[in-house]
Structure 1
Amino acid sequence: MALPPKVSAFCKKYAQDMADGAVAIFAGAGLSASAGFVNWQSLLAPFADELELDIERESEHLVRFAQFSQNHKMGNRAHLNDAIISAFPSMTSPSTNHEILARLPIKTFWTTNYDKLIEKALEQAHKNADVKHTDSQLPTAKPKRDAVVYKMHGDAEHPQEAVLTRDDYEAYGQKHMGFTNTLVGDLTGKTFLFIGFSFTDPNLDQVLSQIRLRYQNAQREHFCLIRVPQRSSYKSDADYIYAQVRHRHFVADLKRYNVTALEIEEFSQITEVLLTIEKHYRRRLIFVSGSASNFEPWGEPAVNSFFRDLGSILIDNQFQIVSGFGLGVGNSLISGAIEKAYANKNIKLDNFLQVRPFPRDIADPEERAAIWERYRKELLSLPGIALFFLGNKEVQGEVVPADGVRKEFDIAQAQGLVTLPIGATGSMAAELATEMLEDTTNHSSAFAKALKTLQEPVDDLHTLLQPIIETLKELAEE
């Protein structure tokens, strides 16, 4: 199912904000539900009979229901703590949505969930998560952290501290002032995407109200994914119509906090939204593959000049370069990129370059091959587009096609990157371009035309720069 135009436009803008490091995720119970965890209603349902209440009729007042249950036990909440421990087992695996979020360069996560799915997904993505579930943890920072996970309602392994009952919510402002102040700061300076969140949490309501009163019409815009009412969810047409009216008022009310609702038809579209954001982000990251021992017919100075200008023009068009620093071409490419970055007075090279030279000083050939294979896969997990140039090397005095460029091409295709060999540069790149043009089933006619144009022989490599950039721009906007 295609995403609505409003949602598609958001995905593109959020990807850009993400590249600028100015985004955050707020995960509600709906995100964890996709991994098989129970929601609040299911967690509290076992206590309904002893209270002589109907959990369905109390579904919009679950905080109050939890308080009733604690009151019924003479203020003892041990049964609620046990329910939390049972409902959120630590061995549960993250969902696809968690995995996508963990792959993205998001450094700030907020959640009201007790589970460990976010931090587990980050760990699986080889990221160092700094998890905060108490105010006392806020002043310290985990060394070399990649992301911070704020669990503002506590953690399943510490159920006695979890925010669950009305007592907990009423005391939150005093007991958890650190979380409140930190959240105010993040909502002020970052663009939030709320996923699986119902906006019924009184703590968040208080924070959003505080920001609204402080900034009035200058609030930062935030977004939430929200499913529109479906006829199949209601017993009668009257109930469905009522739900639609209520939904419209709810969406309009969110605008008071400058939260824009991104309406979807099915929860499965959340995955599509996240994948679209990932695609837009990754397609601004360009992997450059190539190596050369023979620079004919242009000569080494001309090839070096071309790669310097390629590095410069990629940076000038806001692309980020990912490279393994191929022999004979890598130095010129990186030099051009760095010169352009400094000329633009942007000295934070991480915004433009991810250079990872191959570890060459490994004596054992089999070990080196295994390490390089893993290295290539990790390197190619970052970008969304891969360019291939030249690709030749000298073996026992003879110039032959570079098998390393072929391996990078195969890995790139296996990992879903858009592969664009520049056949006009010859050697392995020419072979790859020919193969792709012979197989027209995997790309559009427009892409095939660009591929063919970039295969035509040229006297001056610099004439390739403009069509390369134009093709990259079109791919990034798809």
Structure 2
Amino acid sequence: MKKNILIKKLVKEIASNNLAIFAGAGLSVGAGYIDWKSLLREFAEEIDLDVDKEHDLVSLAQYYINEKGGIKSTVNELILNEFSQKAILTENHKILARLPIDTFWTTNYDPMLEKALEDSGKIVDVKHSTDHLSTSIRGRDAVVYKMHGDALDSNNAVLTKDDYEEYNLKRNEFFTALRGDLTTKKFLFLGFSFSDPNIDYILSRIRLSHGNNQSEHYCILRNVTQFPDEQQADFEYRERKQELFINDLRRFGIQTVSINEYEEITEILLEVEKIQKQKTIFISGAAEDYAPYSQQEVENFVSSLTQEILKLGYRVVTGFGLGIGSSVISGAVKYLLENRLKIDEDHLVLRPFPQNEEGRQLWTAYRKDMISYAGISIFLFGNKIDSEGKIVDSNGMREEFDISKTNDNTLLPVGGTGSISENLWESLLDNESSNQTIDINGLAPSITDLETIKNNILTILKGIKS
């Protein structure tokens, strides 16, 4: 599968709330954690084996336990020490956490997925034992299924042949839950080698049950590269073996995108996020003085514009800007109630600014977080009263414009509404270094009829959507 096709499919499944992530060890290696071979290298040496010559690492772990008389404490201690330590979140973890994905599966013991999700402000329900499967955290945003256990509960981690052979008895509920998700959702496998016996077992059962009607899933695999001093024949052999492996994955409905460098995974995820964010619009506005319009005219304009934006299928983010934010909210609520839709963050994201002194110190960070949801930023009016009682341009809107520009948002300053929006329109038009390709002449300061302005904004948004 080509990368651009994968991106389109991922965007489509995210929009349908139908995408799940399966994270393997490869996703966490970039964060500083070791992979399975590195984990078992010392144990292999202790029993006179070379981990680089071993492919069945589950058996290798079992051999070590056998040599220790069945005592697993050394392995448990290693898992605890290696995977409970703090590590730096990778860009891939951060992007996945920002995307509206609510189902994550992993065979990893580390806490990276849940940490990334929590850092993005989400409520995370982590399930690493069967006891967790029967309860749910109220108001959760995402579930992380750690089917092989957690580093902090290393005594129950799945690693050896004994653990795999007993999985049906001790952790069978994870089989049932994963089989259900694999049947109903589309999975993106990242950093996963498909050598895990449990995944092979589940995929086989689904294939036998559903045949050609099984769900389509996706994975990203790096092409094999030639080792230093490796014979050309040996390299070509490994290339052929990978080709056969990719073809075999199709039996399970798994389509593969091949990449040359791991950085391409980040590029794919960033493109998915960019397209996904284009469905969310940040409305920046502030007005103390509504001239040359009346306050009622402006409120009706903003409310109607918001309703039409939602009607196009966009989501709206607002920070409750003075004189504008209330009209955004009233328009959104009116539309959602009339169309019997839930008033939730699938349609409207509200981020009212904290007004105490401590909260004011955090406004820049607050703006960055709020704007991070959106891929399009609309700027309306933009004035306030200063300490001397004079009407001045809104410096907060200027900061929101700069943040939006840094985030590579599509910028739509509505010059016809005056104040700082007019200045922003002029600066954007004069900026030769701007990468923006959207025609904003329909938002020029010379166009002052509010109904015309609204229609011109909607025309631009329809063009972006198509």
So what's the TM-score if we normalise by structure 2? 0.91
- Paired residue type of 1:85: L
Using the alignment, how far apart are the partners of 2:30 and 2:385 within structure 1?
53
Amino acid aligned to 2:281:
I
Aligned-pair distance for 1:258? 1.2
Q: Secondary structure at the match of 2:345?
A: helix
Closer/same/farther in 2, CA of residues 216 and 109 from structure 1, 3 Å limit:
same
Quote the residue 2:16 is aligned against.
Answer: 20
- Per the alignment, in what secondary structure is the counterpart of residue 263 of structure 1? strand
- Please state how far the C-alpha of 1:315 moved relative to its aligned partner: 1.2
Residues 458 and 452 (structure 1), Cα distance of their counterparts in 2 relative to 1, 3 Å cut = closer
Structure 1 residues 345 and 143: CA distance shift in structure 2, 3 A: closer
Tell me what 1:389 maps to.
380
Judge conservation of contact 1:234–1:240 (CA < 8 Å) in 2.
no
Q: Which amino acid aligns with 2:175?
A: T
Q: Which of 430, 440, 449 is equivalent to 1:451?
A: 440
Partner of 2:336: 341
Distance 1:40 1:427, change over 3 A: same
Q: CA deviation at 1:172?
A: 0.8
Specify every segment of 5 or more residues in structure 2 that has no aligned partner in the other structure, as ranges.
none
Instruction: Pick one of 399, 410, 420 that aligns with 1:428.
Output: 420
Once residues 476 and 86 of structure 1 are traced to their aligned partners in structure 2, the CA distance between those partners, rounded to angstroms, is 49
Aligned counterpart, 1:76:
71
- The reply to whether residue 407 of structure 1 matches residue 376 of structure 2 is no
Shift, 1:397, TM fit: 6.2
1:350 Cα deviation after fit:
2.8
Moved more, 235-244 or 261-270: 235-244
Distance 2:140 2:256 in 1: 31
Structure 1 alignment gaps of length 5 or more: none
2:306 counterpart (306, 311, 316): 311
Q: How does 1:38-49 map to 2 (within 5 A)?
A: 38-49=34-45
Question: Equivalents in 1 of 2:454, 2:208: separation in Å?
Answer: 51
- The CA distance in 2 between the partners of 1:399 and 1:47, in whole Å, is 72
1:8 equivalent among 4, 11, 15: 4
Among residues 327, 330, 348, which one is paired with 1:332 in the alignment?
327
Equivalent position of 1:438 in the other structure: 430
Distance 1:256 1:368, change over 3 A: closer
> 1:273, CA displacement in angstroms?
1.6
Matches of 1:359 and 1:154, distance apart in 2:
40
CA 1:323–1:234: 2 relative to 1, 3 Å: farther
Q: Which residue matches 1:124?
A: 119
The structural deviation recorded for 1:320 is 0.4
Structure 1 counterpart of 2:449? 460
| Contact map agreement 2:422 2:445 (CA 8 A) in 1 | no
Q: In 1, Cα distance between the equivalents of 2:255 and 2:13?
A: 16
Contact 1:341 1:349 in 2 (8 A): no
1:68 is matched by which residue type in structure 2?
Y
Q: Secondary structure, in 3 states, of the residue corresponding to 2:392? A: strand
Measured at CA, do residues 17 and 464 of structure 1 come closer, stay the same or move farther in structure 2, by a change above 3 Å?
Answer: farther
- The percentage of aligned residue pairs carrying the same residue is 42
Give the Cα separation in 2 of the matches to 1:389 and 1:452: 15
**Pairwise CA RMSD of aligned residues?**
2.5
Deviation at 1:222, TM superposition (A): 1.4
Tell me, yes or no, if the aligned pair for 1:21 and 1:106 is still in contact at 8 Å: yes
Contact 2:377/2:412 (CA < 8 Å) preserved in 1?
Answer: yes
8 Å Cα contact 1:16/1:281 also seen in 2: no
Q: Which amino acid aligns with 2:4?
A: S
What is the CA distance between 1:456 and its match in structure 2? 4.6
**Aligned 1:164-179 pairs, distance under 5 A:** 164-179=159-174
Which stretch has the larger CA shift, 201-210 or 468-477?
468-477
Q: Displacement, 1:474?
A: 5.2
Distance 1:126 1:342, change over 3 A: closer
Partner of 2:185: 190
SS of the residue 2:9 aligns to: helix
Match status 1:352 vs 2:347: yes
Contact 1:384 1:417 in 2 (8 A): yes
Tell me, in whole angstroms, the C-alpha distance in 1 between the residues paired with 2:451 and 2:26.
Answer: 52
Query: Is contact 1:111-1:151 (8 Å) kept?
Result: yes
If the length of structure 1 is used for normalisation, what is the TM-score? Answer: 0.89
Q: Give the whole-Å Cα distance in 2 for the aligned partners of 1:466 and 1:279.
A: 25
Deviation, structure 1 residue 97:
1.6
CA–CA distance in structure 1, aligned partners of residues 100 and 308 of structure 2: 24
Note the C-alpha offset of 1:168: 1.0
Deviations 1:138-181 (A, max 9, x none): 11223333322111111122222111111111111121111111
- CA pair 393-79 structure 1, distance change in 2 beyond 3 A: closer
Quick one: distance in 2 between partners of 1:271 and 1:420?
Answer: 28
Partner of 2:217: 222
- What amino acid does structure 1 have at the position aligned with 2:22? F
Residue type at the aligned position of 1:379: M
Compare 452-461 and 35-44 and name the one that shifted more: 452-461
3-state SS of the aligned residue for 2:187? strand
Give the 5 Å matches for 1:65-144: 65-144=60-139
**Partner AA of 1:463 in structure 2:** T
- Matched to 1:295, the amino acid is Y
Deviation at 1:451, TM superposition (A): 2.6
Q: 1:48 to 1:397 in 2, by over 3 A?
A: closer
3-state SS of the aligned residue for 1:56?
helix
Counterparts of 1:234 and 1:184, CA distance in 2: 43
- How many pairs align? 465
Over 3 Å counting, the alpha-carbon distance change for 1:294 and 1:87 in structure 2 is closer
Segment drifting more, 433-442 vs 47-56? 47-56
Deviations 1:185-235 (A, max 9, x none): 222222211100011111011111222222222222211111122235781
CA distance 1:120–1:15, change in 2 (3 Å)? same
1:230-309 paired onto structure 2 within 5 Å: 230-232=225-227, 235-309=230-304
Cα distance change of structure 1 residues 371 and 116 upon mapping to structure 2, 3 Å threshold: closer
SS in 1 for 2:52: coil
**Separation of aligned partners in 2, 1:431 and 1:38:** 52
CA contact (8 A) 1:26 1:110 kept: yes
